[in-house]
Amino acid sequence: MDRASLSETSPIDRRRRGLLIVLSSPSGAGKSTISRNLMADDPTITMSISATTRPKRPGEVDDVDYHFVDETRFQQLVEADELAEWAYVFDHRYGSPKEPIKEALRDGRDTLFDIDWQGTQQLEYAFRTDLVRIFILPPSMAELRRRLEERGTDSQEVIDFRMRRAAAEIGHWAEYDYVLINDDVDQCTASVRAIVVAERQRRERQPYLLNFVRELVERPN
């Protein structure tokens, strides 16, 4: 069998490597809305399911919304190095299990993370070039407060706390690959989508290219 016939019967698997997409922002800046929009537009992107020690809320489903575990089990995951990142958030622990992330990367599936700058730093240490970090800024602190108050779910004390936390979180904006100002959620979603499309095409995320190019130049005319 000649090389041309071999190429026809044994096509190169063009599956790319998966992508880890981090969206970070202060509470109220819009990352949750953008995440929902992004996944609605592209069902191949799935949200990472975190393990958490916080109590289950009404309507939440275990292993769908979160992996709900107690403090003992969470500590076992930490000590066994089974979490890619973890952090305390409002007195409860949250973390991202490693194995589902690795499996998605191998299968060419993209995973979305709604985590803060601390989790992003840990995820970068664990996965480095697989990571795309996007930070969402509010158009102003006054608008951020307005959005938090408009929710109608938090007391003024909690809103004040979130505003103080927001100032600290925004201080880490320069640690991200992309920084977007969310003054229009549709336009911001479109920008995130464009980033994802471009990042999928990076050479290092297309491991099949080496064999493809080799066959391309060696195939006889």
Contact (CB, 8 A) for 179 and 137: yes
81-120 pLDDT tens trace: 999 999 888 789 999 999 999 999 999 999 999 888 989 9
Domains and CATH numbers, the chain: 17-48+110-205 (3.40.50.300)
Instruction: Answer with the residue of higher pLDDT: 9 or 216.
Output: 216
The predicted structure's pLDDT at residue 102 = 94
- For the range 207-211, what are the long-range contacts, defined as Cβ-Cβ under 8 Å and sequence gap of 24 or more? 207/16, 207/17, 208/12, 208/13, 208/14, 208/15, 208/16, 211/12
Identify the pLDDT of residue 10: 61
Residue 158 phi/psi, 5-degree rounding, is: -65, -40
Cα angle at 184 between 179 and 189, to 5 degrees? 60
Whole-prediction pTM: 0.85
CA–CA separation, 214 and 192 (whole Å): 34
What span, in angstroms and rounded, lies between the C-alpha atoms of 171 and 168? 5
Amino acid at 142: A
Q: Which helix (H) or strand (E) is 211 found in, with range? A: helix 209-218
pLDDT, tens only, 162-207: 999 999 999 999 999 999 999 999 999 999 999 999 999 999 899 8
